[in-house]
Amino acid sequence: MTGPSLSDELLPGNDCFGCGPANPHGLHITVRRDPANPDCILGEFHPQPHMTGFPGITHGGAIYTALDCMASWSGMVLRNTKAIWILRSATMKYHRPAFQGRTLALSATVHVESDDLWTAIEVRAEARDAGNILLAEGAFKVIPLPPEKFKAMTGIPELPGNWEKLFSGEG
């Protein structure tokens, strides 16, 4: 994958644990638009040694977190809404171990949606190895919250500057 990540493009300084390049302890997944399919986003995850579950195998929770980020980006990018997309529920299936030191290819598509841009959607996301073998897949229900509703629900008085820029149209 080439080109700027969605974090670099839309949220410079993003410190999300899953996709934020500014988080020194995060997963650092990169997420990009799929140039061949406008209904899909693609990602890469390079699991680090400290993300081990069983020796030599990437922890399932790290893979889950990577796919959760893919689901949230799907709402924002594929639905083109100025909202903070948050997880409501998810189901995961793990098919094969993800061995340490191997890059995982991630993808996500909106599977169930509504004409109403402000309702929950279901995103299907998956992780594959370099041989295109399916390692894990999940169905994530994510909901959009307009910035003001998000702030009211969380009690956060102000969004970080990069998020404010994104929603104001400057980002």
pLDDT tens for 122-158 read: 999 999 999 999 999 999 999 999 999 999 999 999 9
**pLDDT higher than threshold 80 for residue 121:** yes
Q: What is the pLDDT of residue 170?
A: 67
Q: What is the mean pLDDT of the chain?
A: 93
Cβ neighbours of residue 41 closer than 8 Å, sequence gap 6 or more = 6, 31, 32, 33, 34, 70, 73, 74, 77, 78, 107, 108, 109
**pLDDT higher than threshold 90 for residue 79:** no
22-26, 96-100, 110-114, 117-121: the lowest-pLDDT one: 110-114
> 21 versus 81: which is more confidently predicted?
21
87-101, 104-118, 151-165: the lowest-pLDDT one: 104-118
**pLDDT higher than threshold 70 for residue 74:** yes
Show the tokens assigned to 131. 């041989």
Strand order in the sheet with 104-112: 30-33, 40-45, 104-112, 121-128, 134-145, 84-94
| pTM for this entry | 0.93
Q: What is the pLDDT of residue 80?
A: 81
Q: What is the pLDDT of residue 2?
A: 66
**pLDDT higher than threshold 70 for residue 36:** yes
Structural domains of the chain in order of their starting residue, each with its CATH number: 6-144 (3.10.129.10)
